[in-house]
Amino acid sequence: MSNRLKPLPHAAWQAQQARIVLSAAKRLDWRRWPLPRQVDYLFSLYGPLPVINAHLGENSALAPFYRRCIHEQKDAQRDQCAGLLRGLAAKRTELLWRPELAPALAAVARLLPRRCRELASWQPRSRNPFRQLESLVRHLFDQYGDVPAWVISSWTAGRLHDGLNVAELTVHLGRGEALRTFTGLPVGFSRKTEHHLRLAPAGYTFLQALRYAQLAARDQLAWLGPVLDSRLGRQLSRDDEFWLRVVDFFAATPMADPWQLGPVCDWIHQKRAVGIDGEPAQPGFSLKGRSMSSVLTQTAQWHRQLAQAPHRVPEASLTLETTWGALPVPDFAGGSKCPVRITQLRTYGHLIDEGRALRHCVASYLESCRRGRSAIFSLTLGGTRAVTLEVQANRTVVQARGLFNRRPNDEEGAWIQRWATDNRLLVPKHLLG
C-alpha cells in the first residue's frame, strides 16, 4: 500500500505523460488546418520536451519550431516568434513548416525590433522556401540592398554561427556600416580586402569568402583552389598573416606546383607547433632565405618518415589499436566490375597503414580524430587504396588526396560525390576540380 503512495521520479512522470498524450496525438491531424490555426496550436502547447515531442508525433515538423521558438524562451522572445510566424502564415508562405529553417526563423524573430522594413509589406515571389528566406532577410534587414550574397546564403545553409555571428553581421551591414568595423570579426583586414570580401561568391562560408578577398587583394586569385584545399581553407589562426606569406612564397616561384601548398603547410605547422625528429617546436620558423627546392625536399622527407615508421607512436599510452568515436557518417559500398568502398578509419594503426600506402601524412590527423574534430575515410577501388578523405564534424569534406597527395580523378570524384550526396555531406566546389 505504501508503494502506491510513493511519488514518481520526475523522469518516470515525464514518460507517463508522454504515453498519455501519444494516443491523443494519433487522433490529431493538425496538417489539415489552415496555417494561422496551426501557429495558434503550436503556441498553445506547454510542457517538457519529451511530452511535447510525444504529443506532436515522431519526426513532426512542428517539434523543431517549438524547441527554437518556445521552449525555455523568455516572454518577449516568444511573443516576437509568435508575431513572425503568424505574419508568415497569413501570407501562405512555404517557410512553414521546414524543420531545417527553424533556427533561421528564430533568429529573424530575435532581430525583428531592429528591422528596417515591416513584415506586412513583404510578399514572397517564389515557391522555393530557401529563396523566400533570402528575400525575407533582405526585406527586413538589408536597407540598401548591398549585403553580400554569401552572407545572405549563410541563412539558408544553416551557417548562422560560421566563425562569426552571421545574423548580427547581416543587421550591421544592412544599416550601411563598414564590414571591417563589425566587432565580431575574428581577424582584421584592410579596406581593399573588405571591397573584395563583399564580392565573394554566394554559397561561400565566411572563411572561404575571406580567403577569396585576401587573395584578390594580392592579385593571386588563381591560387584560391589550392589555398582552400590546404589547412588555410579549414581554420584561421592568430598568425594568419604568416600563412598568407607562405602563399606569396609559392606565387613568387616560377613553375611551382600549386597543389604542393597543402603538404608544405602541414610540414610548416608540424615544425612550428609540434617539432620534427625530436626537435622542439619552433614558433618563429619562417621561409625567409629558403628555396622552394629545399622546402619541397624537407616536406617529402617528413612524409616518408611518417610512412616508414608504423610502430613509432607519439605518446606512451598510445598503441596501434587505439580507437576513437566514429563520426555519424555511414560507410559506402558500390560498383560491380570494380567494387568501390568508402570506409571510416577508426584506429591509429589504420591511419598509419593508409599513410604508408598512399605516401602522405594522414597519421598526423590522429589528435583531430580523437577529439572529434575530423574523421578520416579511405576510398578503395577493387580492394586497392585510392583516396583518403577528411570529413570535419560539420559534415564537410575538406580533403581528398590520393597517392603522393594527388587529386582524385574523374571516376573517384564521381563516387565521392555520390557518397556525399547520399549522406548529406557538403563537398566544396574546389575539392574535386
Task: Spell out the per-residue pLDDT of the chain, length 433, in tens.
Answer: 445 555 667 676 666 666 655 555 555 677 788 889 999 999 988 888 887 877 777 678 888 999 999 987 898 999 999 999 999 999 888 899 899 999 999 999 999 999 999 999 999 989 999 999 999 999 999 999 999 999 999 999 888 988 899 999 999 999 999 999 999 899 888 999 999 999 999 999 999 999 999 999 999 998 998 899 889 998 898 899 999 999 999 998 877 778 789 889 999 999 999 888 888 999 999 999 999 888 988 988 887 777 665 545 455 566 788 889 999 999 999 988 889 999 999 998 998 899 888 887 787 778 788 888 889 999 999 999 999 999 988 888 988 988 877 889 999 999 999 999 999 898 887 788 6
How far is Cα 1 from Cα 20, in angstroms, rounded to an integer? 24
CA proximity to 391, closest of 423, 354, 413: 423
Supply the pLDDT for residue 132. Answer: 95
Supply the pLDDT for residue 344. Answer: 96
Compute the C-alpha angle 354/329/404, nearest 5°: 25
Report if residue 432 sits inside a domain: no
pTM for this model (two decimals): 0.75
Structural domain for 240, as ranges: 225-308
Same structural domain, 260 and 206: no
Same structural domain, 123 and 15: yes
Report if residue 4 sits inside a domain: no
The helix, strand and coil proportions of the chain, stated in percent and rounded to the nearest 5, come to 55, 10, 40
Same structural domain, 123 and 34: yes
- String of DSSP letters for 228-289: HHSGGGT---TTHHHHHHHHHHHHTSTT--GGGHHHHHHHHHHHHHT-STTPPP-TT---TT
Same structural domain, 121 and 50: yes
Report if residue 282 sits inside a domain: yes
Supply the pLDDT for residue 308. Answer: 66
Same structural domain, 213 and 234: no
Same structural domain, 149 and 76: no
Same structural domain, 102 and 168: no
Supply the pLDDT for residue 1. Answer: 44
Report if residue 390 sits inside a domain: yes
How far is Cα 308 from Cα 429, in angstroms, rounded to an integer? 33
Same structural domain, 153 and 233: no
Element (H or E) spanning 345, and its range?
A: strand 340-345
Same structural domain, 19 and 118: yes
For the chain, the domain total comes to 4
361 and 263 Cβ atoms separated by less than 8 Å: yes
116 and 140 Cβ atoms separated by less than 8 Å: yes
The residue from 217, 249, 276 where one domain ends is 217
Residues 6+ apart with CB under 8 A from 119: 84, 87, 88, 112, 140
Same structural domain, 153 and 266: no
The residue from 190, 217, 244 where one domain ends is 217
118 and 84 Cβ atoms separated by less than 8 Å: no
Report if residue 3 sits inside a domain: no
Same structural domain, 148 and 115: no
Report if residue 257 sits inside a domain: yes
Supply the pLDDT for residue 17. Answer: 64
Supply the pLDDT for residue 58. Answer: 65
Report if residue 207 sits inside a domain: yes
Same structural domain, 159 and 48: no
Supply the pLDDT for residue 309. Answer: 58
In order of 36, 87, 168, 231, the CA distances from 82 in angstroms are 10, 8, 21, 43
The residue from 83, 100, 131 where one domain ends is 131
How far is Cα 164 from Cα 184, in angstroms, rounded to an integer? 6
Report if residue 73 sits inside a domain: yes
* Grid cell in block for residue 252: 613568387
